[in-house]
Amino acid sequence: MANSFATRLAAALLVACLATAARAEDEAPQPSPSPSMQAQGSPQGSPQGAQQGAQQAGQKGRAGRGEAAPGASATPSAAEQHRLPPDQTTKQTVALPGRTLAFTATAGSIRVFDEKGEPLADIAYTSYALDGAEKANRPVTFLFNGGPGSSSAWLQFGNVGPWRLPFEGAVSSASPDLTPNTDTWLDFTDLVFIDPVGTGYSRFVTTAEDARKRFFTVDGDANSIALVIRRWLEKYDRLPSPKYVVGESYGGIRGPKVVRDLQMQQGVGPRGLVLISPVLDFRDYAGSSILQYVASLPTMTAVARQARGPVTREDLADVEHYARTDFLLDLIRGQADAEATARLADKVASLTGIDPAVSRRLAGRFDIGEFRREFDRKNGKVTGRYDASVEGFDPYPDSSYFHFNDPSGDSLMAPLTSAAVDLTTRKLNWRPDGSYQLLSESVNKAWDFGHGINPAESVTQLRQALALDPKLKLLIGHGLFDLATPYLATRIALDQLPAFAGSDRTRLVVYPGGHMFYSRDGSRQAFRKEVEALMK
């Protein structure tokens, strides 16, 4: 109990510190009376990329431009040495079937301070705003990926932004050329892509180790992103606009917490939350939880069936029913019940195509890595984790240990990184120093998910946010072949919500594809229609 109390107290103090940081900015002197200027943040174009405010080229204000805050030493600080360049705004157009979109693109950053007014980090963003639209009624959507440690490039260039990089069938040596995205969401909402600290060009501007303890935590991360959203809205006079939040993967933990923080700490009320391939509760994915086997069985079956032809979720109704009834009951009976264990092992083998002898040896309980290796082991291949319908060669097929990565995701690292850097530096004319981090392993390894008996989850914040605002809506999209975050885990979590969060407010859609199901044209287009309907 003492450890649990200490953990909760530490988390509370962390959130309080970040909230105090926000208040410290609010209380700092304004560099200009302009209503779009941020107190100690960067009103229109301050040069930073990790957590709070930057400004646009041509804007004035010392603190807003990443210069020393009032009372700070004139000696160049770590913040000055690591500052990002001033925000850069350009006019762009994309010619698409049936229309041409003219829009304003801004690449820049927002700076975050601690409770003493000392700069901590700069969070980079890329925004696209349709020209000629009336701001007050024009929706604005804030998007981030997950990881932890991922930049927002996956959503920007694979799904939502005005330019797109083909994901399906990509190889590491593929050309990083971007093409106009026919399925961009810019038709019906302005877009702001956020790179959390340590990803993209976002960075710490302090050498203090405490900064990492602030940001590389579940609650500290969500608080920082919510703060950046509020600062961006103030900076561009968009507080009256309808506001939406989109998160992918670990964004399923981050997204609901960001919405709740916006509601309760930042004075901002989002109208909708969109989650793509989310994880909502880490308890369901590992350890001794038998729900991990329930959640993944329909996905494993979908992988086996798609090898024989196209598969939809409707084709898996029998497996979902079995997973939530007889399969679950036999799992509960445990391996001490030899008859139940043999029964479920044989059924799992028949559904997934795994060798029955292997299934019996594993008692029908396949973790994700075991399934990926055993599914086509006879041919020396492994399936993807992000998209298990994609196969690649096992570099060590005879090894007793797992020595393979992800054929459905690793091939995108090089072209997606190159595309993001080329667009930012050449087309958007924003040229930070340092390397662009598409997917930071160091951030992921440093992440503090919390300790004790309460693994990271966001269902609590979902309940609270939906209960607080009866008009708030939730849309979740999943891919059938996603073994990283199987769709049935989300369905089970949503089924536990009270009646006030019924089907008129919460919607789950499942498409052919993997974690990035939007890599498939049909799935991307169908999901876009769902999002557009949500925002109307």
Q: What is the pLDDT of residue 148?
A: 95
Structure tokens at 127: 């925004």
Q: Are 79 and 254 in contact (CB under 8 A)?
A: no
| Residue 69 DSSP class | P
Q: In DSSP terms, which residues pair with 129 in a beta bridge?
A: 104
| Residue 233 DSSP class | H
- The owner of tokens 């001794």 is 288
Q: What is the pLDDT of residue 71?
A: 41
Q: Which residue type occupies 212?
A: R
Torsion over CA: 400, 334, 368, 342 (sign): positive
- The owner of tokens 């793509």 is 276
**3-class DSSP state of 104:** strand
Q: CB burial class (10 A; 0-12, 13-18, 19+) of residue 411?
A: buried
pLDDT in tens, the chain (536 residues): 444 444 444 444 444 444 444 433 433 333 333 222 232 333 223 333 333 333 233 232 323 333 334 444 444 555 566 789 999 999 999 999 999 999 999 999 999 998 888 999 999 999 999 999 999 999 999 999 999 999 999 999 999 999 999 887 777 887 888 999 999 999 999 999 999 999 999 999 988 888 888 899 999 999 999 999 999 999 999 999 999 999 999 999 999 999 999 999 999 999 999 999 999 998 877 677 899 999 999 999 999 999 999 999 999 999 999 999 999 999 999 999 999 999 999 999 999 999 999 999 999 999 888 888 888 888 888 888 999 998 888 787 777 666 667 766 778 889 999 999 999 999 999 999 999 999 999 999 999 998 777 789 999 999 999 999 999 999 999 999 999 999 999 999 999 999 999 889 999 999 999 999 999 999 999 999 999 999 98
Q: What is the pLDDT of residue 455?
A: 85
Q: In this structure, what are the phi and psi dihedrals at residue 420, rounded to the nearest 5 degrees?
A: -65, -45
Q: Are 129 and 118 in contact (CB under 8 A)?
A: no
Q: In this structure, what are the phi and psi dihedrals at residue 341, rounded to the nearest 5 degrees?
A: -65, -45
**3-class DSSP state of 445:** helix
Q: What is the pLDDT of residue 410?
A: 79
Is beta strand 99-113 parallel, antiparallel or unpaired with respect to 203-204? unpaired
Q: pTM for the complete prediction? A: 0.84
Closest CA to 117 of 39, 65, 222: 39
Q: In DSSP terms, which residues pair with 200 in a beta bridge?
A: 437
Q: Give CA–CA dist 460/272, Å, rounded.
A: 17
What is the per-residue pLDDT across 201-210, written as a single tens digit (0 to 9) for each?
999 998 888 8
Q: What is the pLDDT of residue 408?
A: 66
Closest CA to 144 of 97, 71, 200: 200
Q: Give CA–CA dist 18/503, Å, rounded.
A: 35
